[in-house]
Structure 1
Amino acid sequence: MSSTFVSVAAQGLLIAVVLGVLTWLCSLPTRDASLADRVWSAFIAIPAGLYVWRFGTDTRTLVMVSLIVVWALRLGLYVTLRNWGHGEDRRYQAIRARNQPGFALKSLWLVFLLQAVLGWIVGWPVLAAIGPDRTDWSAWDAIGAAIAAMGLLMEAVADAQLTRFRRARGTADRVLDTGLWRWSRHPNYFGECCLWWGLGLMALSAGGLGAAWSLASPVLMTVLLLRVSGVSLLEQDIGDRRPAYRDYIARTSAFIPWPPKRGRSP
């Protein structure tokens, strides 16, 4: 790797860290560490924009950055509108309770700087695709772009279905099991993973095995969504809060969309 490439990568990390510190400062008077969720997509998109600005665009990086910008704007707006006026998310309330006293300061590295670094890593496919030895657009790029676009669309549709369900009356004790949610308990997370695996494939198309390090992005995102902040965390106690969810778990795939098991229909 050239010194210029390393320097630009470091600048991307610095931008993410600065954004994390600024968001942390905003969280202090409101006592709302879940502000990190609202800027999560910016931790990824802004450094990606820097990379293509410094090295220029070709068909591949233009497609990649366009997908990331659309994803970032949609997700950032969706999370902001969903959480507006509701105070700190209960997941962050639990983190706050576990890290008292002094969580206000601890949240700087436990929440904001951690997410800044993770977001920077997730953006590595674009960094790999701008390398000096990148190849021309190929069929693998088309396949990767199609997977990423499909994932972006699935995530958006799943979130829209969930929003409509939550706004309907009489759904407090019910479970969303129609639309994409009939086939997967977390179709939005599956769509998110498809996005990053598709972009990872495009990075490999650009740099071959020399760009394999960028697959840390989809691997990290998959682990986060399955084992850390996604499926595992959300389903820890949902069966106690919503008994109908237990039957939903028994008949519905946790992640990969799959026909529901027969004989388990509500």
Structure 2
Amino acid sequence: MTGWAGFLTITTASLVFLAVLQTATFAVGHRIGRYNVVDVAWGLGFVGVAWIGVLIGGGDPLRNWLLTILVTVWGLRLTWHMYVKSKGRGEDPRYVDLLERSGGNGLGTIARKIFGIQGGSQWFVSLPLQVSAVSESTGLLPVLALGTLLWIVGVSFEAIGDAQLRKFKADPANKGKIMDRGLWAWTRHPNYFGDSSVWWGLWLIAASAWPGVLTVLSPVAMTYFLVYATGARLLEKTMSRRPGYPEYQRRTSYFLPRPPRSRRHADT
């Protein structure tokens, strides 16, 4: 199934899948009394869209199976990480702040501001996968290879950064301290930087064949979410209240990795 008819079929199926996923996640969140469970469904939604595309679409098999495998590896790792991270914990301060700014925690507001926006974002960000699924062109192999390399960099930043933070928090001696080691010394948000890199890599793979390049706003939107909308900016608002974090901010890059400033230079 290719062409515009194929795309309409895939994008409709993707929308239905994401709507069902977010509705089920909302029901789970309502039952357990916290809505950060939506983060567990984030990666899972993209995995579902990728498989819909590769099973229904008639695009180039090499490119589409590569995209599906990469999205599945990334998405399932992220899903498991978010499940372990949120299990047994209270609500994420980001969502508390979001609902307060949105006028309260009524079910309609929660469904619209958290789950509705999340589902719509998943659909829009996954457009490179949907378009690639119906593109028959083989594409440019060097661009495909570059996208795969960028994906590797991104998923490595995510996985290593998460592992380093988990190990840091598991040590009782670090209680109350700010994580500023390993990748966290180069960027205050290695996981968000890695996530952005993953999606720029996936877009490059899709863009290796026309008309994948036209979906460039999808990785732009993902990067915006990670940096400004629901990611780093909201987390920084909460973390900046902790002792030692303002000093960490002065010596460590906000998003793009770069060598850390020394403590002496950061204080001048």
Q: Give me the TM-score of the superposition, normalised by structure 1.
A: 0.92
Matched with 1:34 is 36
Matched with 1:177 is 180
Change (3 A) 1:169 1:115: same
Which amino acid letter does the alignment assign opposite residue 23 of structure 2?
V
Change (3 A) 1:231 1:102: closer
Matched with 2:214 is 213
Matched with 2:145 is 142
Change (3 A) 1:237 1:91: closer
Task: Give a deviation string over 1:38-91, Cα, whole Å, max 9, x none.
Answer: 111112110111010012562211111111101111111111111111132222
Which whole-Å CA distance do the structure 2 matches of 1:165 and 1:125 have between them? 36
Matched with 1:63 is 66
Matched with 2:55 is 53
CA-CA distance at 1:186 after TM superposition: 0.8
Change (3 A) 1:132 1:90: closer
Partners of 2:99 and 2:109 within 8 A in 1: no
Which amino acid letter does the alignment assign opposite residue 29 of structure 2?
S
Instruction: Please list every run of 5 or more consecutive structure 2 residues that lacks an aligned counterpart in the other structure.
Output: none
Give runs of aligned pairs for residues 1-266 of structure 1, distance below 5 A: 1-55=3-57, 58-99=61-102, 103-136=106-139, 138-207=141-210, 210-240=211-241, 242-262=242-262, 263-264=264-265
Task: Give a deviation string over 1:92-120, Cα, whole Å, max 9, x none.
Answer: 23334445666123211211121011011
Which whole-Å CA distance do the structure 1 matches of 2:234 and 2:93 have between them? 11
Instruction: Give me the identity figure in percent.
Output: 31
Partners of 1:250 and 1:264 within 8 A in 2: no
Change (3 A) 1:53 1:131: same
Which whole-Å CA distance do the structure 2 matches of 1:47 and 1:255 have between them? 28
Partners of 1:60 and 1:137 within 8 A in 2: no
Alignment length (residue pairs): 263
Which whole-Å CA distance do the structure 1 matches of 2:16 and 2:74 have between them? 22
Moved more, 172-181 or 221-230: 172-181
Moved more, 59-68 or 99-108: 99-108
Change (3 A) 1:2 1:226: same
Moved more, 105-114 or 64-73: 105-114
Which whole-Å CA distance do the structure 2 matches of 1:154 and 1:97 have between them? 32
- SS of residue in 2 equivalent to 1:235: helix
Which amino acid letter does the alignment assign opposite residue 49 of structure 1?
W
Which amino acid letter does the alignment assign opposite residue 24 of structure 2?
L
Which amino acid letter does the alignment assign opposite residue 9 of structure 2?
S
Partners of 2:135 and 2:209 within 8 A in 1: no
CA RMSD across the alignment:
1.9
Which whole-Å CA distance do the structure 2 matches of 1:2 and 1:237 have between them? 45
Instruction: Please list every run of 5 or more consecutive structure 1 residues that lacks an aligned counterpart in the other structure.
Output: none
